[in-house]
Structure 1
Amino acid sequence: MAQPLRLFFSFLVLLVVTGCSPAIHTNTEAVSGFNLNNYQTFGFYEVDASGDALGANYQQPINYLQEEIARQLEARGLTRTTTDPDLLINLGIVVDEQVQTRETSILTDPPNYIGQRRYTWKAREVEVGRYKEGTVSVHLVDKDQNELVWRGTAESILESKPAKLQEQIAQGVQKLFNALPQ
C-alpha cells in the first residue's frame, strides 16, 4: 500500500513542477536542401544591443544563449571558431514587459460606501502583476553564399531568477535544435 501512495505523490510533485514552468513555443524553417552535415565550423555574429529598455544584466543571458547554441552545434559535430567559420549565427532577442490585468466585478469588488443617490459603479481594469515575455530568433547563415539556410524562433514568459532563466534558455535552445535537419 505504501508503494502506490509513494508513486502517486511522486507523480503529483512532477505534475506541479512541470505545470509551473512556462511553456516554450518554437517555430523553425529550413531552406530546401539544407543539411547541417555540410558544415564543419560555426561562429557568431557580434551582438549589437542598444536601447533604453536594456537592463543592466542583459549580457549574461546572451552569454547563456550563445553557450547553449554552441553546445547544441558541437554535439552535432561542428566546431566553434572565430576565424572564417562555415556557418554564421545571427541572434535576435526581444524582451517586452507585459502587464497582467483583470476586470473588476460588482460581485467580487463591491462598492464600499453608497451614500449618495447618484453614485454609480463602473467596471475597470486593475493591474495584478507584471512579467517579461521574450522571443529569440536564431538564424543560421551560409558564409560562402551569404544566405539564410535555417531559422528558428522560441518564445516564452521569462523566468525572473538567473538560475531558472539559464535552465529555461537551455530547454528552449534544445527544443529549437531538436527540429534542426541533420
Structure 2
Amino acid sequence: MKNIFIVAALAFLTACTQTADWDYDKSANFANYKTFAWVENADLTKDTNNYQINALMEKRVRSAISSELNQKMGMSLADPAQADVLVNYHASVDKELDVSSFNIGYGARWSSWGLGYQNDISAREYEVGTLVIDIIDRESNQLVWRGAEDGRLKKNQSPEQRELSVRKTVAKILNNFPPQK
C-alpha cells in the first residue's frame, strides 16, 4: 500500500512539473561556442497574426535570449559572419478547447423515493502560445540545438508582466543549453 502511495505521489509531481521540450545534435561540441548572432531573417511575427505577437514582444524575446546566453554561458553577441552560432526564434499561437463536465446524483426525499441525475458540460476556448529557439552552427549551417515551451496566453497583462513572462519562458527553454551529456 505504501508503494502505491509513493508511485501515485511521484506521478502527480511529474505531471505538475512541466519542463521545456528540447533536442540536440550529440556530435556537436558545445564547449566551442563562445559567440552568437541572429539569423538574418529571424522574425517572431512572421507566421502569426495574433495581437500579442508583435514588435514589442520581439524586442523582449531578443533581449531575454541575449541576456540568458550572456549571463549563463558567457556568450557574446558578434557579427554574423564571425559568430560561432546563429540564433533563430519563432512563435505560434493555437486555439485549444477545455471541456469539463460536472455530474450530480441524488436520492430519497421525505415522502417519496427518487433518483435524479444532472450533467453539466462546459467548454472554453483559449489560446496556447509556443516559443521555439534554434541554435545553428554557423560554419556547417546545421541545427545543433532546439528548445521550445508552450503555455496558455494571458490577456490584459501590463508590459512589466509580459516582460517577466518572456524572461521566465526563455530561461526555462535555455535551461538545457548547452546540454549536459
Normalising by the smaller structure, the TM-score range is 0.5 to 0.7
Q: Secondary structure of 2:94's partner?
A: strand
Q: Distance in 1 between matches of 2:150 and 2:45?
A: 19
Q: Secondary structure of 1:67's partner?
A: helix
Shift of residue 57 of structure 1?
Answer: 5.7
Percent identity over the alignment is: 21
Shift of residue 23 of structure 1?
Answer: 7.0
Identify the residue that residue 50 of structure 2 maps to in structure 1: 54
Identify the residue that residue 34 of structure 1 maps to in structure 2: 28
> Which AA in structure 2 matches 1:168?
S
Q: Which residues of structure 2 form unaligned runs of 5+? A: 1-15, 106-117
Shift of residue 170 of structure 1?
Answer: 1.2
RMSD: 3.1
Alignment of 1:148-167 (within 5 A): 148-160=143-155, 161=157, 162-167=159-164
Q: Distance in 1 between matches of 2:84 and 2:165?
A: 28
The range that moved more, 28-37 or 165-174, is 28-37
Identify the residue that residue 7 of structure 2 maps to in structure 1: none
Q: Deviations over 1:51-103 (max 9, x none)?
A: 67332761222221111111111121211134422211111211124344445
1:173 aligns with 2:167: no
Contact 1:27 1:154 (C-alpha < 8 Å) held by counterparts: yes
Contact 1:26 1:175 (C-alpha < 8 Å) held by counterparts: yes
Q: Deviations over 1:114-142 (max 9, x none)?
A: xxxxxxxx978544x44321111111001
Identify the residue that residue 139 of structure 2 maps to in structure 1: 144
TM-score by length of 1: 0.65
Contact 1:31 1:149 (C-alpha < 8 Å) held by counterparts: yes
Shift of residue 150 of structure 1?
Answer: 0.8
Shift of residue 32 of structure 1?
Answer: 1.1
Identify the residue that residue 78 of structure 1 maps to in structure 2: 75
Q: 1:135 aligns with which of 110, 130, 137?
A: 130
Q: Distance in 1 between matches of 2:133 and 2:67?
A: 14
Shift of residue 149 of structure 1?
Answer: 0.8
> Which AA in structure 2 matches 1:88?
L
Q: Distance in 1 between matches of 2:30 and 2:46?
A: 32
Q: How many residues align?
A: 148
Alignment of 1:79-118 (within 5 A): 79-84=76-81, 85-103=83-101
Q: Which has the higher strand share?
A: 2
Task: Say which structure, 1 or 2, has more relative contact order (CA 8 Å, 6+ apart).
Answer: 1
Q: Distance in 2 between matches of 1:95 and 1:23?
A: 22
